[in-house]
Structure 1
Amino acid sequence: MKDWWKRFSEFSHLSLADKLLIGQTVAIMIVIRAGLKLLSFQQFRKLYGKLLTVRKSTTTSDKLIERQVWAIQKVSGTLAAVCLPQALALTYFLRKEKGIELVVGVQKKQAFEAHAWVEKSGRILIGESPDNSFKPLWVWQ
């Protein structure tokens, strides 16, 4: 109970712009998580691809990208969202941005592992930097 009260207290002290961003992020993350659970990955990818089909024409400031990443990371703890939903959410936020890539990589050291991250011009925006053993399996531009 204290955890929820702490989150509510933190939320109540945010600026209106941050509250709106958190609200938008919660909605996007819920839809993404539901889509990943309810649809096959192929169905999800097709539907999500339609949502991302827009003219890539804007340049988002680094400060706004940082706020979006902050909101996604803040919400992810509450919603138990791991790297793929986080990367999908940021890609959705930046769907009009040029040079954005969602990368899903895999590795097999002792066990098979997968990791997702978002890059802009080679710089990782969200998803901890994978070590060199992760090989890109799928890149979505």
Structure 2
Amino acid sequence: MGTFKHHIAKWNELSGEGKAIFLKATVSLVLIKTGLTILPFGTFRKLFHWLCDTKSVGEISQERIDLTVWAVDTAANLLPLELLCLPRALATKYLLRKVPALTLEIGIEVNPAKQFEAHAWVEKNGTVIMGNWPQSVLYQRIWVWN
């Protein structure tokens, strides 16, 4: 019950813009999860690329970027769906699509002793903003989605 009260208190602290970002993150995650589930990946990728294609780019404040990342992570944790790294990274990429130098990265863990493990994350100018991992893990990039 304590976490529920915490989330309600956090919601009440959000500005109108913050609440809108949280709701957009929630809807984006649900639609992305649905698309990944029902569409062939090639079709999903083309549709997602089309939706993210924008002629206008612009800087968004670091505060808004941080709020968007928080909203995606929090909504993903609250929704009754399994929303691992790929839907979170895709939602972040979509919501921040006008930010220049934002890339969605997909990599595989470099560890022969473990089974195959992939991870998706979002970077801005080479810095991970969504999908951080422990320093003890090393991922090799296999795909960059600009």
On whether the aligned pair clears a TM of 0.5, the verdict is yes
Q: Give the distance between the partners of 1:33 and 1:24, measured in 2 at CA.
A: 14
Query: Cα gap change, 1:31/1:101 in structure 2, threshold over 3 Å: closer, same or farther?
Result: same
Partner of 1:88, secondary structure, is helix
Q: How many residue pairs end up in the alignment?
A: 140
Per-residue deviation at 1:33?
A: 0.6
For residue 45 of structure 2, what is the amino acid of its counterpart? Answer: R
TM-score by length of 2: 0.85
Residues 56, 95 of structure 1: 8 Å contact kept: no
Q: Give the distance between the partners of 1:56 and 1:136, measured in 2 at CA.
A: 28
Runs of at least 5 residues in structure 2 that lack an aligned partner in the other structure: none
Mean Cα displacement is larger for which, 4-13 or 90-99?
4-13
Mean Cα displacement is larger for which, 127-136 or 36-45?
127-136
Partner of 2:117, secondary structure, is strand
TM-score by length of 1: 0.88
Runs of 4+ in 1 over 6 A off after TM superposition: none
Partner of 2:48: 48
Residues 104, 120 of structure 2: 8 Å contact kept: yes
Q: Give the distance between the partners of 1:96 and 1:14, measured in 2 at CA.
A: 23
Q: Give the distance between the partners of 1:118 and 1:107, measured in 2 at CA.
A: 16
> 1:1-141 to 2 correspondence within 5 Å?
2=1, 6=5, 7-8=7-8, 10-79=10-79, 80-107=82-109, 109=111, 110-129=114-133, 131=135, 133-141=138-146
Superposition RMSD on alpha carbons, in Å? Answer: 2.0
Query: Cα gap change, 1:130/1:118 in structure 2, threshold over 3 Å: closer, same or farther?
Result: farther
Q: Give the distance between the partners of 1:85 and 1:5, measured in 2 at CA.
A: 23
Runs of at least 5 residues in structure 1 that lack an aligned partner in the other structure: none
